Amino acid sequence: MTVFAIAGFAFLTHAMLVYLSRWYAALDGPASFRLFPQTAIWWFFPGFGALTLGYEIVLQLWSRFGDAGRVARYSAWSNLKSGFDGRRLLRWMALLIAAPIGGFTLLEVPSHVSLTDKVIIDHGYGLGKPQIYRYDAARKLTIIEGFRVKDGSLTSRAGIVIDFDGGRRWSSANSGDFKKQVDSALQDFLMQKTKLLPKHAETVDDIQ
């Protein structure tokens, strides 16, 4: 029963977070492309929440639809057997660990990029004002391979970097999962909109 509660909580909350992310992005209106955060982000809270709340969900349902007295006796027996109040420990873990992760994850829901016919709308973390980039203000388009870590080695995270008037810069590598190659359809779209031919660089820092 507990396993089903854990799995059910994890998959339902994951589905809800993904739905909210897509719903919020749709508020931008029609877009040719939408870029979202890394897919793993939507599993952190469902995972921690399921592990800390699964047991409590089972006991609450058992108490609500079954024998509350039996649930109390089972909890007392479980505590005696383990030597500590596991239910209380899980509640504290849910409050101190899962709940903050849930809060930070909800602030990630607005994060996305909408590439419309005229502009790029980049929503960052939280509910702040999005950054708007006009294609006709683009001055350089560069394909990067990834970024360098502390030891100098290159980690693959391909992206399309566009430099705009005023020193502004946008990169598709800031969204989505790590990939070795950029989306060719997205590249063609941005080349068409900016009317720029792409240059190549290993990292953002190598762009000249």
> Are residues 72 and 151 located together in one domain of the fold?
no
**Domain housing 78:** 2-108
Which token pair is 103?
A: 């809060």
Q: Is residue 122 part of a domain?
A: no
| 68 vs 164, more confident | 164
Does 86 lie in the same domain as 16?
A: yes
Number of structural domains, the chain? Answer: 2
- CA–CA gap between residue 73 and residue 86 (Å, rounded): 14
* One domain for residues 138 and 101: no
Location of structure tokens 């899980």: 90
116 part of a folded domain: no
Write the Ramachandran bin of 174: left for phi over 0, alpha for psi from -120 to 50, otherwise beta. alpha
pLDDT higher than threshold 80 for residue 30: yes
- Indicate whether 71 pLDDT > 70: no
